[in-house]
Structure 1
């Protein structure tokens, strides 16, 4: 199938619950957990524990209704502002934040976090901290110069973005435009953490195939340097599963800071 015939996340969206169940759930046949959930959790826990990335405001700009990447952050930031492109993603996320019946179960991610932190008795406390910190959810319009127009956000100490650039960018120019907009959300010297998939061309949610922007390590390093970001940590994990639902070759974790 040609890329031009694939659906595009910012335009068409996808079923948020199907996306979570397929790639992030604890179901026995989920072959993506090690790559897409556990690897980022371990990288995030390590980078935050180093103590360099902390402050008042963290902005989360991620695809879907993801939560797992916020567990470490809630220990180091007073306020987490979550930006979402699709209304359906906002509804799914709010269901979990409000502890409603039928919310997606992130218990396996919580358990993995507290085990890494060697605080196994604090599972409920960890989820409570995330819910308390992530009370601000704002609709995001990636095509606008101010993505949260008419709302003007306070400058962030850190932005975390999981898979949004991969799923929203049509080409290299588009990716760099997103980086410029993300840079404007940060204070001078602020941190940007990117989690994405290298050399991915498509992913599947339900019966639909979606376009993914294809890039390699060299491209993302140059793009970040071109926008004034200094890379502090760059980790990759080679794909460990076999599936035609998605075709990435490796998962990347990048921690950067903005040149002052």
Structure 2
């Protein structure tokens, strides 16, 4: 099964809306809610409400066009910049931010964020707050040393990344190069927050199988440590769903402080 050829998220055609509906929706038959929605949101609530992750600028670079984890960040960070390596995902995210016709509804995620913060009556306010905090949605390319070339971004106080390293990295060396490029977006003393799937090799969208770089918790921690990060929070949740659409074994959420500048 694992020998079957797989597509790459950033190189091949990718149905961004189908991806959201399959893995992040509130549909009754969407079986990934515990791992893909609730797990990162609960941990984001803890990290961002704890006070040890703070600043002005947050840069998010995640796979697909999901934004649910950012609902918990917009109380802390007033300037959020979203980067996308896939143009369709860029367009999907921008459509939601600008409240355009046909935009994907994240009401279920904003409701969960409001509940976590004890503000269940302020769902609409939470949605508008996040949209107001997002200043830019920008395309990026990991083939460039500066992934947003020719745009030069402000150095971030926090970088959040959900699954992007998993889906664009082909092997361990590729993962390290990509992680280093993301790290350069972050100031020393700032925090990198990674959400990842462990021991996975594929995920399925619209009947097409896409690549995931297979790694475990130790690999991710060692990769961060090699680049000068100190891990200050880590949570792992064993897979809760039963589906053949993807083969991950657990979900990982990790926060690490950057102690030195990458050359």
Query: Which TM-score tier does this pair reach, normalised by the shorter chain?
Result: over 0.9
List structure 1 runs of 4+ shifted beyond 3 angstroms. Answer: 1-4
How far is the alpha carbon of 1:135 from its aligned partner? 2.6
Alignment coverage as a number of residue pairs = 260
Q: Where does residue 16 of structure 2 map in the other structure?
A: 16
5+ unaligned residues in a row in structure 2: which ranges? Answer: none
- 1:13, 1:86 within 8 Å by CA — same for their partners in 2? no
Q: Where does residue 256 of structure 1 map in the other structure?
A: 256
SS of corresponding position for 2:78: strand
Q: Where does residue 245 of structure 1 map in the other structure?
A: 245
How far is the alpha carbon of 1:230 from its aligned partner? 0.5
Q: Where does residue 177 of structure 2 map in the other structure?
A: 177
CA distance in 2, matches of 1:141, 1:105: 27
- 1:199, 1:248 within 8 Å by CA — same for their partners in 2? yes
CA distance in 2, matches of 1:3, 1:60: 32
Q: Where does residue 167 of structure 2 map in the other structure?
A: 167
Is structure 2 residue 137 aligned with structure 1 residue 142? no
Q: Where does residue 130 of structure 2 map in the other structure?
A: 130
5+ unaligned residues in a row in structure 1: which ranges? Answer: none
How far is the alpha carbon of 1:2 from its aligned partner? 4.3
- 2:81, 2:134 within 8 Å by CA — same for their partners in 1? yes
Residues 47-68 of structure 1: CA distance to partner in whole angstroms, max 9, x if unpaired? 1000111111100010110110
CA distance in 1, matches of 2:181, 2:169: 13
Q: Where does residue 73 of structure 2 map in the other structure?
A: 73
- 2:2, 2:201 within 8 Å by CA — same for their partners in 1? no
How far is the alpha carbon of 1:101 from its aligned partner? 2.0
Structure 1 residues 3 and 127: CA distance shift in structure 2, 3 A: farther
Matches within 5 A, 1:177-196: 177-196=177-196
